Amino acid sequence: MILYHGTNAEILQIDLAQSRVGKDFGLGFYLTPDRNVAQRQAERKFAQYGEGETRVYEYSVADSSLKDLKVLRFDEYSLEWSRFILQNRKNRTHTQLHDYDIVIGPIADDVIGYQIRRVEEGIITEQQFLEEIKFHSVTIQYMFATQKAINLLQKL
């Protein structure tokens, strides 16, 4: 399988210590099987930070190698998926809230911070939160959370 990572920075090697808090699936290295999504992410990062250049890195990983890892997979938008994202987005520490090597599932809409505040304040229900954070089309992301998982990625 081929996965892409979009960024504004040069990546010589993947360093999980550089992971940012408050991401959909927690701390880790995020990739997508959709090159266009990775390109948009790279452009967004470049615009956000105003430095570096847009870069899309391509990685290969054998599907069969994932069988030896602890993988959580969300095949579709669901309340379980939205609850998992809510708990990870609210976590502002460098302590991972789960013990999965890889988490796979849909990408949440980029306005999620606003929706999290609305559900926390009781303005919307969990079901409404789920509907609000669905991306317009299902786009899958892979989050590699452990060094064991990262070691499976082969940069192309």
Instruction: Please tell me which residue, 115 or 126, carries the higher pLDDT value.
Output: 126
Taking only the tens place, the pLDDT of each residue in 139-155 is 899 999 999 999 999 99
Q: Check if the beta carbon of residue 28 is closer than 8 Å to that of residue 19.
A: yes
Q: Which backbone phi and psi does 94 adopt, to 5 degrees?
A: -95, 20
| pLDDT tens per residue, range 28-45 | 999 999 999 999 889 988
- Alpha carbon 144 to its chain centroid, in Å, reads 9
- What pLDDT is recorded for position 46? 87
Question: Rg of the chain over CA atoms, in angstroms?
Answer: 15
pLDDT of amino acid 99? 98
Instruction: Please report the pLDDT score of residue 139 as a whole number.
Output: 86
pLDDT confidence of residue 110:
67
SS3 string, 89-142, reads HHCCCCCCCCCCCEEEEECECCCHHHHHHHHHCCCCCHHHHHHHHECCCCCEEE
Q: How many residues does the chain have?
A: 156
Q: pLDDT digits over 6-35, tens only?
A: 999 999 999 999 999 999 999 999 999 999
The per-residue pLDDT for 137 is: 66
Span 57-93, pLDDT tens digits? 999 999 999 999 999 999 998 999 999 999 999 999 9
Backbone φ, ψ for residue 43 (5° rounding): -65, -40
18 CB-contact burial (10 Å; exposed 0-12 / middle 13-18 / buried 19+): exposed
Tokens matching residue 45: 């990062």
Q: Is the pLDDT of residue 112 over 80?
A: no
- CA 82 vs CA 77, 127, 133: distances in Å: 7, 9, 8
Q: How confident is the model at residue 102 (pLDDT cuts 50, 70, 90)?
A: very high
Is the pLDDT reported for residue 131 higher than 90? no
